[in-house]
């Protein structure tokens, strides 16, 4: 049995690759805008990396100004928010302030066509989570494992087959309602940001075909997508931006908590029972608060100590958070004197537990009901 056969958690930074393309298309002016920023390491850890795209409403003479100002101001103001604020709180406050400014200055205009109104969609990639926020009919897609998924909902209403109007946008009203959702990231994920000049002229099959390409740069794929939309009759500005997840850090405590509290706690297990990829070989401890087992990981033939919370505490969030915190902290300790704890997600399990790699010759159960596990060195 060798510890080298077990994946160890690594401490690494989030890394996102960017590439985009924008063109005025058949129009006289390009009223789209996008922006992205991946800051230095410490800021990236606290605030993440940002991508946003905007499409100025074409009925306004200030559409270009509205879209460009929105993407640049948002990124600048977001990175100025306190680190103690959550992503959602930071996004809400920055967009509310930006919306108020656009609406107020738009109202100062003498004519409706001079108002500052734009769609706005973006993602903040922080740790292992994509935080998605959206107003209008620009879009955010996720391309993963050969499939494409639309992550946003258009805020528009059709008056006929070919005509529609926006029901929500930045600068449209003094009150702003923003869609916000979160998605767990995976290596290789490609997030695709488009304005309606692109996605209204392309099918999902065409988008998937272009996104499946691995020999071209992200910028070239984005350009190909825009040019294909133009060749297929798009009558609007054309903008596409792609962000690809190249590297992920270990999960933060909030992500671990969100993931584990959603899992089902299994009943008490006995010798010979099988759970996911583990075969229970011995019950080391069974109490009112937790159960501890010696188990074989069948794909690797390695043995582990598994610790589970009990069903008695399935509704006790304080206990579950403590259990999760114990696992999260333990997985970050590297000491010859402390048994190594491995992240649960590396074991591909459907249940909340944590695992410790063990030398079975040095694991023993004491008569007092506790479990003594000697660290393997």
Q: Which conformational region is residue 232 in: left (phi greater than 0), alpha (psi within -120 to 50 degrees), or beta?
A: alpha
201/347 same-domain check? no
pTM over 0.85: no
Considering only residues 159 and 36, tell me which one the structure prediction assigns the higher pLDDT.
Answer: 36
| Residue 238, SS3 per DSSP | strand
Q: 4 in a domain, yes or no?
A: no
Give the neighbor-by-neighbor strand order of the sheet with 49-56.
32-37, 49-56, 118-126, 129-135, 179-184
Q: Are residues 194 and 92 in the same domain?
A: yes
Phi, psi (deg, nearest 5) at residue 21: -150, 140
Task: List strands edge to edge, sheet with 278-286.
Answer: 274-275, 278-286, 290-297, 302-309, 354-357, 341-342
Give the number of C-alpha atoms closer than 13 A to the C-alpha of residue 221, restricted to the C-beta side.
25
Domain assignment of residue 102, yes or no: yes
If asked whether residues 199 and 291 sit together in one domain, one would say no
- CA distance to 86, 263, 292, 306, per residue, from 277 (Å): 36, 16, 16, 12
User: How far is the CA of 5 from the CAs of 8, 18, 37, 354, in angstroms?
Assistant: 9, 34, 38, 18
Is 7 inside a domain boundary? no
CB neighbours (10 Å) of residue 65?
18
Give the integer Cα–Cα distance in Å for 13 and 250: 8
Last residue of a domain, one of 250, 273, 304: 250
238 and 263 co-located in one domain = no
pLDDT given for residue 259 in this prediction: 57
> In angstroms, how far is CA 136 from the centroid of its own chain?
21
CATH of the domain at 285: 3.30.200.20
**Same structural domain, 306 and 191:** no
Are 236 and 96 found together in one domain?
yes
Total domains in the chain come to 2
Where does a domain end: 227, 250, 273? 250
Mean of per-residue pLDDT scores for the chain: 82
Residue 182 lies in a domain: yes
Domain housing 296 = 254-373
Contact 238, 31 (CB under 8 A): no
> Is the four-CA dihedral 327, 328, 329, 330 of positive or negative sign?
positive
The mean pLDDT value for 27-33 works out to 95
Q: Residues 206, 306: one domain?
A: no
> Residues 109, 134: one domain?
yes
**Helix 63-78 to helix 87-107 angle, to the nearest 10 degrees?**
150
pLDDT of residue 353: 55
Does residue 91 lie in a domain region? yes
Is 125 a domain residue?
yes
What is the pLDDT confidence band of residue 182, given thresholds at 50, 70 and 90?
Answer: very high
Q: Are residues 259 and 241 in the same domain?
A: no
The CATH number assigned to the domain holding 225 equals 3.60.40.10
Does 3 or 228 have the greater pLDDT score? 228
What pairs with residue 158 in β-bridges?
Answer: 164
Check residue 365 and give its pLDDT.
Answer: 41
- pLDDT of res. 303: 86
Q: How far apart are CA 225 and CA 232, in angstroms?
A: 11
Highest-confidence segment of 116-125, 279-288, 293-302, 360-369: 116-125
Write down which residue in 223, 250, 277 finishes a domain.
250
Residue whose C-alpha is closest to residue 54's, from 114, 125, 113, 139: 139
Residue 3 lies in a domain: no
Q: Is residue 10 part of a domain?
A: no
Q: Tell me the pLDDT tens digit for each residue of 225-262.
A: 999 999 999 999 999 999 999 999 876 656 655 655 55
For residues 214 and 268, membership in a common domain is answered with no
User: Do 195 and 263 lie in a common domain?
Assistant: no
CA 347 to chain CA centroid, nearest Å: 21
Tell me if 306 sits within 8 A of 273, measured CB to CB: no
What's the pLDDT tens digit per position in 101-129? 999 887 765 545 568 999 999 999 998 89
Same domain, residue pair 313 and 224: no
């Amino acid at each position: 049995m060798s510890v080298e056969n077990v994946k160890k958690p690594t401490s690494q930074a989030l890394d996102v690759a960017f590439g985009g393309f924008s063109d005025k298309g058949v129009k006289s002016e390009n009223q789209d805008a996008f922006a992205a920023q991946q800051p230095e390491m410490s800021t990236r850890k606290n605030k993440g990396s940002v991508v946003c795209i905007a499409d100025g409403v074409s009925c306004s003479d200030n559409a270009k100004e509205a879209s460009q100002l929105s993407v640049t101001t948002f990124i600048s103001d977001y990175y100025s928010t306190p680190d103690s604020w959550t992503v959602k709180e930071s996004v809400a406050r920055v967009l509310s302030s930006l919306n108020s400014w656009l609406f107020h200055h738009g109202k100062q205009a003498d004519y409706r066509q001079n108002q500052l109104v734009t769609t706005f969609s973006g993602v903040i990639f922080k740790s292992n989570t994509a935080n998605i926020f959206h107003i209008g009919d620009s879009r955010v897609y996720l391309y993963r494992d050969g499939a494409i998924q639309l992550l946003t909902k258009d805020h528009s209403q059709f008056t006929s087959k070919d005509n529609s109007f926006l029901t929500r946008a930045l600068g449209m009203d003094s009150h702003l309602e923003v869609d916000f959702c979160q998605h767990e990231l995976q290596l290789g994920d490609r997030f695709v940001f488009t304005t309606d000049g692109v996605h209204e002229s392309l099918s999902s099959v065409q988008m998937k075909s272009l996104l499946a390409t691995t020999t071209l740069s992200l910028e070239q794929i984005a350009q190909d997508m825009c040019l294909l939309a133009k060749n297929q009759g798009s009558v609007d500005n054309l903008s596409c931006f792609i962000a690809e997840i190249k590297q992920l850090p270990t999960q933060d405590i909030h992500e671990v908590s969100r993931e584990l509290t959603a899992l089902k706690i299994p009943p008490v297990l006995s010798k010979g029972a099988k759970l996911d990829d583990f075969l229970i070989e011995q019950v080391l401890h069974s109490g009112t608060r937790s159960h501890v087992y010696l188990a074989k990981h069948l794909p690797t033939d390695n043995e582990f100590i598994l610790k589970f919370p009990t069903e008695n505490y399935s509704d006790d969030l304080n206990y579950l958070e403590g259990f999760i915190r114990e696992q999260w902290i333990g997985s970050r300790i590297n000491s010859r004197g402390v048994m190594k704890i491995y992240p649960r997600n590396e074991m591909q399990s459907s249940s909340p537990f944590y695992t410790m790699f063990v030398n079975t010759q040095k694991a023993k159960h004491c008569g007092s009901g506790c479990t003594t596990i000697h660290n393997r060195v």
